[in-house]
Amino acid sequence: MPLTIYKRGRFYWLTGTVPTREGEQRIHESTGETDEAAADRKRLNVENKARADVALDPKDRFTFAEAVEAYLDDGKDKRFILPLLDHFADTRISAMTGSTVRAAAKVLYPKAVYTTWNRQVIIPTRAVINHSANDGKCRTVLIKGFSKNERDVKRSEAPAKRAVDRSYIDTFREHSDDPRLSALMLFLFQTGARISDALDLVDDSPDIDLVNRKVIFRDMKNGEDGEADLTIEMVYEIQQLREWRRERMAAWEVRIPWDQKRSGERHSGRGAKKPNDRLFGYIGRASIYRDIKRICKLAGLPYLGTHQPGRHSFATEMIVKNRIDVATTAVKGRWKTKKLLMDNYAHGETGKGVIDKVFGKKRPKKAANGER
């Protein structure tokens, strides 16, 4: 039945059917118009839109919600995705532009700095769309990230990221009262591991191979597995950590529960808990950061978390301090691109000593015969 209009009270109504890809769809709704000509134009628009939708290329009908579903079904990282799904919902990707995505960042996180907009909106939106575009399900969308040079962005007031040298790690370890943290900080410094990947390592698993001096990280941030080499020093640290864990396990097994104890040493706190199966003994990050802050304060060190003494310092030690090429560093540190590594993680040397070392006046050596 073709779409027609009829008057009902003050307003003209639509009634009839329009074509869809699934078949005919029944329409019965008010046009909101009191003028017959205006109502007929609305009827014509509804019919034309329905016909255009039927003829539309499937790639142009594909929605953001469908792209998200495909992305998550493939086991991709769901961080930051749900707010984007709530915002774009069933918006067709063909109707999305770089400008609409950038505008969404400002709506979703109005008080955030530009780096947060990039990390939590621009990058995940690109990832979701490109995942389906690579499968031929939708069109690609060019989405430009935010930069600090734009006038309408908020810049971070946090101190710039920095790298540390071995003296920072050694001082931390000297003041640490927890062998797990001592080993963990050295591990992060020497492997460039993310804290989440380090904490996921299960002790006595095939992923920790002390004979061949390597560990394997499963399902890292980029969804892939990665491998890190271990120094002989780190192998020894892990062996010592395992011995410490065995001693704790033995002490836990012979402990007397507090509710059966009348006097003597209390078994509470860390000593009362059964050691878990993780290499570094931590399940989550919260208590780690608290303990690192405490030890940094005791040692008189600036608190830098785990990423700066870890990945930032690994990159700087390799490239800047020891002149290892960028390609090798990217492989050993498990960076996906060399650009990401150089733009964010390698920190140049500071201080006058650099210039003095290169350009400082050097006294000519005295020849054996006394001539200069």
Considering the domain architecture, whether residues 128 and 212 belong to the same structural domain is answered as no
Considering the domain architecture, whether residues 114 and 234 belong to the same structural domain is answered as no
pLDDT for res 55: 65
Considering the domain architecture, whether residues 28 and 173 belong to the same structural domain is answered as no
Considering the domain architecture, whether residues 70 and 187 belong to the same structural domain is answered as no
Do residues 169 and 185 touch, judged by C-beta distance below 8 A?
yes
Here the tokens at position 287 are 């208590």
What DSSP state is assigned to residue 34? Answer: S
pLDDT tens string 114-161: 889 999 999 999 999 999 999 999 999 999 999 888 887 777 777 888
Considering the domain architecture, whether residues 318 and 186 belong to the same structural domain is answered as yes
Q: What angle do CA 277, 283, 284 make, to 5 degrees?
A: 170
Where does the pLDDT of residue 68 fall: very low under 50, low under 70, confident under 90, or very high at 90 and above? very high
pLDDT for res 155: 77
Stretch 235-256: mean pLDDT, rounded?
A: 86
pLDDT for res 257: 59
Which of 40-49, 98-107, 278-287 has the highest mean predicted lDDT (pLDDT)? 98-107
Helices (H), the chain: 36-55, 58-61, 64-73, 81-88, 98-108, 114-117, 123-134, 166-175, 179-191, 195-199, 232-253, 286-299, 313-316, 326-332, 338-344, 353-359
Residue 33 clears pLDDT 60, i.e. is over it = yes
pLDDT for res 326: 93
The reply to whether 369 falls in a domain is: no
Which is higher by pLDDT, 359 or 194?
194
Considering the domain architecture, whether residues 264 and 206 belong to the same structural domain is answered as yes
User: Phi and psi at residue 336, in whole multiples of 5°?
Assistant: -75, -35
Considering the domain architecture, whether residues 45 and 66 belong to the same structural domain is answered as no
Residue 195 clears pLDDT 60, i.e. is over it = yes
- Does pTM surpass 0.85? no
Reported as type and span, the H/E element at residue 30 is strand 23-33
Domain boundary among 91, 118, 134: 134
Residue 60 clears pLDDT 70, i.e. is over it = yes
Which residue segment(s) compose the domain that 324 sits in? 166-344
Among 68-72, 122-126, 258-262, 329-333, whose mean pLDDT is lowest? 258-262
Considering the domain architecture, whether residues 117 and 227 belong to the same structural domain is answered as no
Residue 240 clears pLDDT 80, i.e. is over it = yes
Residue matched to tokens 């405490």: 294
Considering the domain architecture, whether residues 24 and 69 belong to the same structural domain is answered as no
Give the count of domains, the chain: 3
The reply to whether 364 falls in a domain is: no
The reply to whether 353 falls in a domain is: no
| CATH code of the domain containing 325 | 1.10.443.10
Stretch 272-294: mean pLDDT, rounded?
A: 85
pLDDT tens string 17-30: 887 777 788 888 89
The reply to whether 368 falls in a domain is: no
The reply to whether 245 falls in a domain is: yes
Stretch 66-93: mean pLDDT, rounded?
A: 92
Residue 82 clears pLDDT 90, i.e. is over it = yes
The reply to whether 260 falls in a domain is: yes
pLDDT for res 286: 81
Here the tokens at position 65 are 């919600």
**Cα(222)–Cα(179) distance, integer angstroms:** 30
Considering the domain architecture, whether residues 192 and 257 belong to the same structural domain is answered as yes
Considering the domain architecture, whether residues 117 and 184 belong to the same structural domain is answered as no
Considering the domain architecture, whether residues 91 and 231 belong to the same structural domain is answered as no
The reply to whether 356 falls in a domain is: no
pLDDT for res 273: 67
The reply to whether 122 falls in a domain is: yes
Stretch 284-302: mean pLDDT, rounded?
A: 91
Q: Left (φ > 0), alpha (ψ -120 to 50) or beta: where does 223 sit?
A: left
Domain boundary among 83, 118, 134: 134
